[in-house]
Amino acid sequence: MGELVAEELNEQEDMTLVAGVESPGHAAIGSAMGNAPVIADSSEFPEADVWVDFSLAGTASDHIRLAATISKPVVVAVTGFDDNALRKIGIFAESCPVLIAPNLSVGMGVMDRLVGDTVRLLGDQFDPTLSELHHSTKQDSPSGTALWLAEQVETEGKSVQITSQRAGGAVGEHQMRFVGRDEELVITHRAFSRQAFSRGVPRAVRFILNKKPGLYSIRDMYGGG
């Protein structure tokens, strides 16, 4: 994802990638990511306007804590945070703007809004179910995106059953089914490549750059909040 994000940012006229960050001892340290150097996570980070994190939940939590100490805006494209980690992130967000983005794809940003509107329009005559498919090495189940979509349903007072599958190299698929007595409505988002996620990074950076400290979601970004 780091390489894909670097490619995406290098295509933007209004932003420049300052550095890539890898775990200490990683073979890529000292090499280049696009036009930027790859540095160790233990190093002092160079000056930048926004941090973008595509790591893992534990590492991302450490980065958010560090960002809070210097009031640095941060985009966190990571899933798998437990309740305790989310509580701590909420505290860190009092000192810096934090965008939690389990899925940065444009299509998913639209699907999230469609799901909310559909629940409201269909009411109690249809039962929602959600299935998701990811690659076999994905650690969290259900995915952060699935939980995010389920939250849209639950906000409207409905419960939703989530089915998770992990198989092969599947990039990511989320399917929301609204099943009625005589018909059903299906909304599906399917990512063909990981570039679907990296393409949303520039928009996320622009969104969070001048925000006040606080915890933000992709729903805020696509909803204009």
Largest CA distance in the chain: 61
pLDDT computed for residue 101 by the predictor: 86
For the entire predicted model, the pTM comes to 0.81
Winning range, highest mean pLDDT, from 70-79, 142-151, 191-200: 70-79
Question: 21 pLDDT exceeds 70?
Answer: yes
- Output the CA torsion sign for 192, 219, 111, 124: positive
| Tens-place pLDDT, residues 96-149 | 999 998 888 888 888 988 999 999 999 999 999 999 999 998 878 898 889 889
Q: Do residues 179 and 127 make contact, with C-beta atoms less than 8 angstroms apart?
A: yes
Cα–Cα distance for residue pair 82/204, rounded to 1 Å: 23
Look at residue 8 in the predicted model and tell me its pLDDT. 87
Is the confidence at residue 195, as pLDDT, over 50? Answer: yes
Nearest to 79 by CA among 156, 6, 134, 117: 134
> What domains sit in the chain, N to C, each tagged with a CATH number?
2-104+197-223 (3.40.50.720), 106-192 (3.30.360.10)
Q: Which of 63, 134, 174, 189 is catalytic?
A: 134
Cβ–Cβ under 8 Å, residues 174 and 111: yes
Q: Which two tokens stand for residue 75?
A: 């985009």
Which residues make Cβ contacts (< 8 Å) with residue 25, sequence separation at least 6? Answer: 40
**Is 211 considered catalytic here?**
no
Annotation marks residue 138 as catalytic:
yes
Neighbouring CB atoms inside 10 A of 7's CB total 14
Which of 26, 63, 88, 138 is catalytic? The answer is 138
Instruction: Give one word for 123, left, alpha or beta, with left for phi > 0 and alpha for psi -120 to 50.
Output: left
